[in-house]
Structure 1
Amino acid sequence: MSDIKIAIPLHGKMAARAFHQPFFRQKLAEGSLKPLYFLSPYYYRALTFDPTQYFELQVEQYDAQYNRHFLLQQLRMLRRFVIVTETTDMRFREMIETKLFDATLPGMAAQMIYVSALRRIPHIGRFLAWLEKRMYPTHAHDEYFAQQNVDCVLTPGMGNYNFWNEGNFAREAQRKGIPAFAAITNYDNIVNMGYRGFNPTCLAVWSRQMADEVIKLHEYPAKKLEVVGAVQYDRYLQPLTMSREEFLTSIGLDPVKKTVFFAGGVNVNHYFEIYRIFVEQKERLWGGDFNFIVRPQPHAKLLDAPGWQVVEKLFVDAGVYVSNPGVVDANGSRTQEIRIDLGMDDGPDELNYLLRYSDVLVNNFSTMGLEAAICDLPTIHIGYDAYTFGVKFGVTTGFQQRMTHNRRPLRLKASKVAKSDQQLLAFIEQYLNDRSFDREDRHEYAVSECGELDGMATSRLTDMIKSRMK
């Protein structure tokens, strides 16, 4: 039996880190699936790839079409907000804020009224997706599908917000009679990223909770989805090649000491607060006798900010280990970051080691909190903002705490939320003294979001695809 040729479009970081990791590619091969990767120009033009297996995703064609058609822009904007949750309510207000000082007041008032009205009409999402499909078809990859004899497509997401390109790719395949499968790549996509852009042949979701959400919010048929688990987290269930002592020594830290790991968001102010607490006033915690690791969010909003460059140097000069997946080479290239995104190097990635060998995680309500729960790493979320003047609400902890997925009872039960620096240090002390606190709650939360934690999600995904191809 010949391999099934499966075309996979990869545009964003989360998709790349889910569907191009060595473990994922290995499981595809074991399942007789041959991936043909269509990479965004950002990735495709940065490295040299095998021309028989890698192609450029025609993002520029998609962008040109989007920029030409005002109605298409409106359809996608509406699709983003027709899934009515606390998060999409706040994102709508955030969008209004960004336009407020450049638009006329009557214009803004009209947009607020019509979006608020339309987004609550029953079945409006289904109509908007149908209208976009009929009015704005694309054919950017038709020749590739024919030339490569593509058997099926696998997309991250369902063509909703931040996945427009993948949605176009899937619809092109479907117009050619090619089955288009989809898999969710982040736990908040269903509730936070708007209505889907196409109907997959079958949708792979993480858990029963996620299945219930997509059926309810997206009016998605239960017979066209399967619970497979979180593909990108299979790697956390695999053995590591270095011991804790070996890893910490390799990054210049003392394996005898406890290790505090801070993984931040895009608000650079939070890093200065962390520097104040854990460097300038480090004696407040265990007499200052601990390892400290900082990992910035790999996003241009943070990494391109002058403030980050200043605080990164402060951390490094103080002996803090900065695990920066978005580091820029001396010549201005992001080659290292791209290699990390695409999993081009063999062996476990650094984040895998950090989550499994640290003693406590300090976080800002990001996905990292879920990854920590999978790895049984105690987590404390910062629930206060030390500096708010001139800061948009969308990057504050107040915004994060109101997001739909961050308010789930199990998420809050599995971690601590510090409302002051004193409380933050007290929670860290508690976990450093006894890591077993909240262990059962962490596991329950991880299972609720990810389903089975057995390292077999990728295998279940390949089985789903092959069974639906028959």
Structure 2
Amino acid sequence: MKKTIFFSVYDVHVFRNLFLPPDSVVRKLVLRGDHNIVILRRSQVLPEFFSAEELKNMPHVVIENISYFRPKTRLERAFHFFYSYLVFTGTTKLLATVGDRLDAPPAGGNRHLWVIKWVIAHTFGKFNIIKRNVVPWLYQKIFTERPYKALFDTHNPDLVFCSDIAHFPDIEIAAEAKRRNIKTAGMPSKWDHFNKYFVPVQTDVLAVQNEPMKKEAVKYEGYKSSEVDVVGFPQWDNYYGIERHVIQRDEFLKKMGMPGDSKVILFVSGSVYAADEPDILQAISNQISKGFFGPSVRLLLRPYPQTSEKAKYLQFEQDQNVFINWIDNTNSMDNFLHYVNMMYHADVVISLFSTTAIEAAIFDKPVLTIGFDGYKKRPYHQSVRRWEDLAHFRHVLDTGSVKVIKSFPELFAQIRAYLDDPGQDRELRKDLVDKMCYKIDGRSSERLANFILQNA
């Protein structure tokens, strides 16, 4: 009899990472045909996984639409507050004191609670028995709604794989499996999750994307090293043998409306996390006009995906030096490949303390991160300077491969230096890839699929 695997795909990033690529994790599991695969899907946001015609030929695949779950009662919310702050890192402190968004009050209006959060982490958070035993037991006693009970009753899975274990609804899905003694496997959907907050339910086994994440799972989340496997980033499998996805440079430049001899400065927006990027862009454009960077240099702006930044960048639609790529790379394979070509043909990449720094290193592109607020002198809680304190990004900065730029003169000089000699810091970029990517060998999806099947 075939075993049944629950596979949660609730978040749009999980869809992009684990389903969208042609040789994705989900497709590998489905095409094998030797397990029943029940996909727990967020119907309101995600596109259809398979056509009705495809599903006719896959009787072992069931797609169940699920709704969101979050703490509701006062007791649930109080317990959620308590267990979340069993972890308190530089990232947690930043979020608890100044917050991450400029369009919201510092720390969601609860800045005064940061000392309590610190105390929780430095008392209760010191004991693994609280993380591994007490908190999971209390979770079962306090969260009693069991919204996914009927799904488990219907399908009786042998393994539950939670692809975004750091967040709801995957936390509650894992908890329901634990109530029934069903084996659980998990994975964080992003590389910055385990050093922010504590996750109240540990899965029996855990897959992570790199070695620093494995160390964080052990240090912060209560896992044993033997319970954690490193598999790499499945969404970056397409970066291996990248030439098969790349169009000719003159074709790409023509597609973007740029002259065929252009050198490209790619600027990746930080969205609501940074208000002064237009100052930076305008200053770079002015230097392009003056010829400071050399002949035929263009600035390619990539706004933050899944947000509306039209108003923020409206002034640049008539700027002859600036070309804007409005395509969202998260919602289709064609758009993702457009992003690949954008990165591949860039000569210098500028971003804001983001994953883009790692991707640029994979492509061996010089990368800068903006560490100042344009022409303004913002206080720390509104300044991009605060992002240097992010615990997860310290892994990147410690390699020395990404320069944090603190002024316009430094920015202009470093752009010109990298345009003149893109080989600068190449060995440091290799170090960054080795540290943060595990392996760029096109086999991360295969490793994750094998991890799931071995535990089914």
User: Sequence identity of aligned pairs in percent?
Assistant: 21
Q: Tell me if the contact between 1:410 and 1:444 (Cα under 8 Å) persists in the aligned partners.
A: no
Maintained 8 Å contact 2:99/2:105: yes
1:279 is matched with which residue? Answer: 285
**Deviation per residue, 1:63-108 (Å, 9 max, x gap):** 4xx23x12211222233322121111121113699479978xxxx7
C-alpha spacing 1:54/1:388, structure 2 compared with 1 (3 Å): farther
Report the equivalent of 2:217.
214
Structure 2: how far apart are the matches of 1:322 and 1:401?
A: 27
Q: Secondary structure at the match of 1:417?
A: strand
* Alignment-derived partner of residue 136 in structure 1: 143
Distance 2:330 2:4 in 1: 23
Equivalent position of 1:152 in the other structure:
159
Give the 3 Å change call, closer, same or farther, for CA 145–263 of structure 1 in structure 2: same
Structure 1's unaligned 5+ residue stretches are 327-339
1:237 counterpart = 2:240? yes
Q: Which residue of structure 1 aligns with residue 455 of structure 2?
A: 468
Whether 1:450 and 2:437 are equivalent positions in the alignment is yes
Q: Secondary structure at the match of 1:247?
A: helix
Map of 1:41-56 to 2, 5 A cutoff?
Answer: 41-44=43-46, 50=52, 53-56=62-65
SS in structure 2 opposite 1:43?
Answer: coil
Q: Is structure 2 residue 359 aligned with structure 1 residue 371?
A: yes
What root-mean-square deviation, in Å, do the aligned CA atoms of Structure 1 and Structure 2 show? 3.1
Contact 1:363 1:369 in 2 (8 A): yes
Deviating 4+ runs (over 6 angstroms): 45-49, 99-103
Q: Distance in 2 between matches of 1:99 and 1:359?
A: 37
TM-score for the superposition, normalised by structure 2 = 0.84
Q: Distance in 2 between matches of 1:29 and 1:46?
A: 15
**How far off its partner does 1:177 sit?**
4.0
Q: Partner of 1:270 in structure 2?
A: 276
Listed as ranges, the gaps of 5+ residues in structure 2 are: 56-60
Deviation (angstroms), 1:45? 8.3
Residue by residue over 1:119-167, the C-alpha shift from the partner in whole angstroms, topping out at 9 and shown as x without a partner, is: 2122344433432232103432333344445443222333x3xx12111
Contact 2:253 / 2:262 at 8 angstroms: preserved in 1?
no
Partner of 1:351: 339
Deviations 1:350-388 (A, max 9, x none): 222222221110111111111111221110111111255
Q: Secondary structure at the match of 1:321?
A: strand
Match of 1:16 in 2: 15
Give the C-alpha shift of residue 204 in structure 1: 0.7
For the 8 Å contact 2:19–2:27, the answer to whether it is kept is: no
Q: Distance in 1 between matches of 2:435 and 2:448?
A: 18
1:253 to 250, 258, 278: 258
Task: Give the secondary-structure state (helix, strand or coil) at the position aligned to 1:380.
Answer: strand
Contact 1:269 1:387 in 2 (8 A): no
Task: Within 5 Å, give how 1:324-343 maps onto structure 2.
Answer: 324-325=326-327, 340-343=329-332
Matches within 5 A, 1:37-116: 37-44=39-46, 50=52, 53-59=62-68, 62-63=69-70, 66-67=71-72, 69-94=73-98, 98=105, 111-116=113-118
Q: Is the 8 A contact 1:31 1:459 kept in 2?
A: no
Q: Which residue of 2 aligns with 1:290?
A: 297
- Does the alignment pair 1:191 with 2:190? no
The residue type equivalent to 2:97 in the other structure is R
Q: TM-score, normalised by structure 1?
A: 0.82
Q: Secondary structure at the match of 1:210?
A: helix
In structure 2, relative to structure 1, the CA distance for the partners of 1:90 and 1:278 (3 Å cut) is same
Letter in 2 for 1:57: I
Determine if contact 2:246/2:341 at 8 Å carries over to the other structure: no
Equivalences for residues 302-341 of structure 1 within 5 A: 303=308, 308-319=309-320, 320-325=322-327, 340-341=329-330
In the aligned structure 1, how far is the partner of 2:379 from the partner of 2:143? Answer: 35
Aligned residue pair count: 433
- Give secondary structure in 2 for the equivalent of 1:83: coil
**Deviation of 1:460 (Å):** 0.8
User: In 2, are the aligned partners of 1:75 and 1:128 still within 8 Å (CA)?
Assistant: no
Check whether the contact 1:154–1:181 (CA below 8 A) recurs between aligned residues: yes
Within a 5 Å distance, the mapping from 1:365-404 to structure 2 comes to: 365-386=353-374, 388=376, 393=380, 396-404=383-391
8 Å contact kept, 2:7–2:161: yes
DSSP 3-state at the match of 1:386: coil
2:97–2:107 contact (8 Å) kept in structure 1: no
Cα distance per residue 1:377-400 (max 9 Å; x no partner): 1101111112557x7855532111
CA distance in 2, matches of 1:397, 1:74: 31
Q: Secondary structure at the match of 2:161?
A: strand
SS state at 1:253 partner: coil
Where 1:189 maps in the other structure, the secondary structure is coil
Distance 1:259 1:112 in 2: 43
**Letter of the structure 2 residue corresponding to residue 137 of structure 1:** T
Q: Distance in 2 between matches of 1:30 and 1:73?
A: 41
Report which of the two has the higher share of helix.
1
- The code of the aligned residue for 1:250 comes to K
TM-superposed deviation, 1:173: 3.0
Contact map agreement 1:369 1:379 (CA 8 A) in 2: yes
Where 2:122 maps in the other structure, the secondary structure is coil
Amino acid at match of 1:310: A
Is the CA contact 2:330–2:336 (under 8 Å) kept in the aligned structure 1? no
